[in-house]
Amino acid sequence: MEDNINDDITKNDSLNSGESIKAISYSPDGKFIAGVQGNKIIIWERSSGKRFRSFISQNKLACIAYNPNGSEIVVGDVNCHSTVYSKGGKMLRNLN
C-alpha cells in the first residue's frame, strides 16, 4: 500500500480557505477536523484552523468519519466504496 500524502496541497491553507467541503468529521479528542473535497482528504487543527495534513484518494469522496479512538479515518466515495486510511494518510484497506 502506498502513502498518499501530498505536501503540495497543504501549504498556506486554513480552514477558512473558501473551498467547498463535502463532509467533515471531528476527531474523538476534538483536536482535529477532517473533511473531504473532491478526491482530497484534509485534516485541520481545530484550534488554529490550519491544515495539518492532506492526502489524495483515487475517487471523488462523499463522506468521512474517524474511528472511535481517532487512529483511522474512513471515507466513502460517490460509487459507494469505503476506504480506511491511517490518520497519517496511508491507505490501510478497502471495505468493499
pLDDT, greater one: 37 or 16: 37
Asked if the model's pLDDT at residue 58 lies above 60, the reply is yes
| pTM as predicted | 0.78
Q: CATH code for 7-11+20-94?
A: 2.40.10.480
Listed by start position, the domains of the chain span: 7-11+20-94
Nearest 5°: phi and psi at 24? -135, 160
Which residues in 58-80 are b (16+ Cβ under 10 Å) and which e?
eeebeebbbeeebebbbbbbeee
Task: At 28, list the grid cell.
Answer: 474523538
Asked if the model's pLDDT at residue 2 lies above 60, the reply is no
Q: How many CA atoms, within 13 angstroms, populate the side-chain half-sphere of residue 76?
A: 12
How far is Cα 86 from Cα 48, in angstroms, rounded to an integer? 22
